[in-house]
Chains A and B, each alone.
Chain A
Amino acid sequence: MTSPLKVLTANDLAGGQVVFLSETGWSDRYADAWIFEDPAAADAALDAARAATLTLADPYLIDVAAVDGLPVPTSYRERIRALGPTIHPDMGPQAEGGALVEALQQAKGAARSSGRLGLIRRK
């Protein structure tokens, strides 16, 4: 039994927009998010984010499942947060479209892993 994959998220302090920790810092795009397979590494990143109070508000970890090789947040709340308001498809990160955005939009209920994550985006 492997532990769930994690993504570290927060809101940008000055702008308020949802951000995700990527390999090169904080990004507005969920597609850039760094996928943690190691819970200890995820916790360490969360601690670091909590210390970075100058640029971030409310950092926390979310659970992610590998669905058809793509990292999909387990809860629909986190999927909506990663996409933007569902009633305004032109607003938020969902506006740029793409396979990952579609995977999030199509996931139903509590997403469950359906195998391994695609290779590129693992840490």
Chain B
Amino acid sequence: MNTAATRELMDYDEVVERFDPVLGLEVHVELNTRTKMFCGCSTKFGAEPNTQVCPTCLGLPGSLPVVNRMAVESVIRIGLALSCSIAPWCRFARKNYFYPDMPKNFQISQYDEPIAVHGWLDVTLDDGSTVRIEIERAHMEEDTGKSLHVGGTTGRIHGADYSLLDYNRAGVPLIEIVTKPIVGTGARAPIVARAYVTALRDLLRALGVSDVRMDQGSLRCDTNVSLMPRGVVTFGTRTETKNVNSLRSVERAVRFEMTRQAGVLAAGEKVIQETRHFDESSGSTSPGRRKETAEDYRYFPEPDLPPIAPSPEWVEQLRATLPELPWQRRQRIQREWSLSGEELRDLVNAGALDLVAATVEAGAPSGEARSWWVSYLAQQANARGVPLDELPITPAQLARVIELVASGELSNTLARQVVDGVLAGEGSPDDVVAARGLAVVSDDSALIAAVDSALAAQPDVAEKIRGGKIAAAGAIVGAVMKATRGQADAKRVRELVLERCTS
């Protein structure tokens, strides 16, 4: 271990007082095309190892690549959604390096002629402020296979006893989206990084081009971080952290590197330009294997593939297929639901926007839908320690509950019991209503009997009501509700109480 690696971390407040961080984010997105980038093999995740392979994605002698047109369409759509320019002519290039999970020992990628360049993504932070992240480029490439290193302690190649290789992933279409250096974010750098990846994920999901599952590796982020002392304008030496496999890790990895690099710099040492590895459990980064010489990928134009020249007509056709993008949708929802900026932000931050929208889609009024998701259901999710969207209730089921309340068949109290039943796995709202016998008592004769007996039980109150003190009716209503175990419609009970006292 070198000394720099074991240097003490600097306190974060001090870091941001003394240094300006510069970020660069490289996001790899596996497209959800049915077939691979350069062959007809399936891209389905989780198949038996080495069952989705052919001569081309195994790089067998004599095999040749053929470009997947769907993948090109996807990257053009991504580029357009990121406000990039689409290159009128671009090429693939070979990136040459030896690694056992790469069947040809070169990766077909794009180098100095990427398909999409110079765009941006506006990212809204939790506090409502917006940061524009400039996009350098988006390009196409093929994924590598997967190595499983067996033995050793780290799960990495060094120190392993042997390695197993699965080439199912080899050749899966991958889009790399690279930001320009992100400067001026100061103490917010880690949350900006996280917010960017989140926004990008939402965008890709809206485009329908990827599963964007960080846990399955269909969205992967490498975080580049460097520090420059406040007031200095030349960038410091950066490190690139790999294996950042969740949104939370993006934030933690950036934050850790800031504190680590600041510690190194404060000790008068130099940050080493290197690839680092993020460790989820400790939240720290550690150096990858140091190479004696800088990696030289010997890029050159891929001779097996002709250039790609998307015609303006094709690009415009693809632009026409862009769905409503997340920020456009948010603006529309804010307008349609008459939300304040703060209310919208709360919804977004609670992860409830899509759920509310889906509930509204299923027929519920936005006010009720919003109130259910951000209050009662948010509490339930919290209590169970799961994200809101993992609660076992669908927007459609909630919409049905809201409908039953609106039609008077359920009271609010009963509605919660129905929701509890759904969450407990007792079936649909109607199943729960039936099984638990939760329908509001709407038979007036039964209610009248209950009202009469409540009035009889509290003659003084009854007298007051008869004397015109309508406010006193509440006590009787409460007694009736209690007697009917909440199954009565409180509004109807109140009407009956007043009716009985005036007749």
Are A and B subunits of one complex? Answer: no
Could you tell me which B residues sit within 8 Å of A by CB distance?
A: none
Could you tell me which A residues sit within 8 Å of B by CB distance?
A: none
